């Protein structure tokens, strides 16, 4: 009986088994990385004024202002050299880059909603870039491999499309939690930096302006098709903002609130991310102002719109 009690006490008091999650694929490995983002927003309320006079509610209640944004990115990374938990030399081939914005609007006097669709392309498509770690300057140097494009396209590219920042700094047991930098979470929404999908220099405002908190929780290992995959649950509550101002167009100021959750699957034996899926709600406040020419006189148009909707982001890493 004493022996049995001793064994039970040991089992209860012994530390939980821990796992080390680390980045480190074999040199020469190629990974095809697919990233998708989809955000849908629709108008919930609107107020509008012209020349300081607010329009009656019946002129804005039935207005339509919906936004739908999709981004699809596929790259193939070849790890030429690795060390110290990161690639030291990496060649990236951009095989798919698309960004589609659809806006639907209907204001008073319009017989039906007007839909505007913008499909953006990038000169990075089908290009290859080598990232080489510069230890002296503690940064990645970038250069074209094969066909070249504008040097400016290289400047804002980010090497880390492995999402290494989600990993814990030490071994973890099931149930352990840790915080991740919101910059790393921003990379889920806009991986790879500025991919040249917009002519605007500040194309990544949404990702760069994230503030808040993201938490990960280790859920142990499961086996899928012979692969041991570590489960990392994540919850993020954050805010962000974007601004746009043109000389011949409206001034737009948007503030977002996000509540997202999902899961990463990390390949324990191959030492890289296998996939992730995250979704949740988004609310946004948009303030827009511009000058209107009415019968030769300038009048200030002010509009405030509250929007709400959903966001889904996901990715998959496979060997081509």
Cα distance from N-terminal residue to C-terminal residue, the chain? 58
Ranges of H-type helices in the chain = 2-13, 152-155, 182-189, 205-208
Contact 47, 58 (CB under 8 A): no
pLDDT, residue 38, reads 96
* Separation between Cα atoms, residue 260 and residue 282, nearest integer Å: 8
Chain length of the chain: 320
Q: Report how far apart, in Å, the C-alpha atoms of 150 and of each of 139, 143, 213, 218 are.
A: 21, 11, 36, 43
pLDDT, residue 281, reads 97
The encoded tokens of residue 244 equal: 């746009």
pLDDT, tens digit only, all 320 positions of the chain: 444 434 333 333 334 456 889 999 999 999 999 999 999 999 999 998 888 788 888 778 888 889 999 999 999 999 999 998 999 999 999 999 999 999 998 876 777 888 999 999 899 999 999 999 999 999 999 999 998 888 889 988 999 999 999 999 999 999 999 999 887 777 878 889 999 886 555 567 888 888 999 999 999 999 998 899 999 999 999 999 999 887 777 899 999 999 999 999 999 999 999 999 999 999 999 998 888 766 667 778 888 999 999 999 999 999 98
Q: Exposed e or buried b for every residue in 43-64, given b needs 16+ CB within 10 A?
A: beebebeeeeeeeeeeebeebb
Q: Report how far apart, in Å, the C-alpha atoms of 261 and of each of 24, 59, 231, 301 are.
A: 26, 37, 13, 38
pLDDT, residue 50, reads 83
Contact 131, 89 (CB under 8 A): yes
pTM: predicted TM-score of the whole model, two decimal places: 0.87
Q: Report how far apart, in Å, the C-alpha atoms of 303 and of each of 2, 54, 60, 253, 284 are.
A: 77, 9, 10, 11, 14
């Amino acid at each position: 009986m004493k022996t049995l009690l001793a064994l039970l006490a040991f089992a209860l008091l012994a530390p939980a088994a821990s796992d080390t999650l680390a980045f480190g694929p074999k040199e020469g490995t190629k990974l095809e990385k697919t990233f998708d983002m989809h955000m849908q927003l629709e108008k919930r309320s609107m107020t509008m004024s012209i020349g300081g006079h607010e329009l009656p509610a019946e002129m804005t209640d039935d207005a339509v202002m919906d936004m739908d944004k999709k981004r699809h990115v596929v790259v193939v990374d070849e790890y030429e050299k690795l060390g110290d938990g990161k690639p030291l030399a990496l060649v990236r081939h951009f095989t798919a880059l698309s960004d589609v914005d659809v806006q639907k609007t209907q204001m008073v006097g319009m017989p039906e909603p007007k839909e505007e669709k913008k499909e953006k392309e990038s000169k990075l498509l089908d290009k290859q870039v080598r990232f080489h770690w510069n230890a002296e300057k503690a940064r990645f140097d970038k250069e074209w491999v094969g066909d070249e494009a504008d040097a400016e396209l290289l400047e804002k590219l980010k090497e880390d499309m492995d999402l290494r920042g989600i990993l814990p700094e030490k071994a973890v047991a099931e149930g352990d939690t840790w915080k991740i930098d919101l910059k790393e979470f921003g990379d889920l929404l806009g991986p790879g930096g500025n991919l040249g999908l917009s002519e605007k220099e500040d194309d990544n405002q949404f990702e760069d302006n994230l503030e808040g908190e993201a938490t990960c929780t280790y859920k142990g290992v499961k086996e899928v098709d012979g692969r041991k995959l570590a489960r990392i649950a994540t919850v993020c509550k954050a805010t962000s903002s974007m601004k746009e101002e043109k000389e011949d167009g409206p001034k737009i100021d948007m503030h977002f609130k996000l509540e997202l959750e999902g899961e990463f699957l990390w390949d324990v034996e191959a030492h890289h991310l296998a996939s992730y899926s995250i979704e949740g709600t988004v609310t946004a406040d948009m303030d827009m102002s511009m000058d209107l020419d009415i019968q030769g006189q300038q009048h200030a148009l002010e509009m405030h719109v509250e929007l709400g909707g959903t966001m889904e982001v996901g990715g998959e890493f496979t060997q081509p």
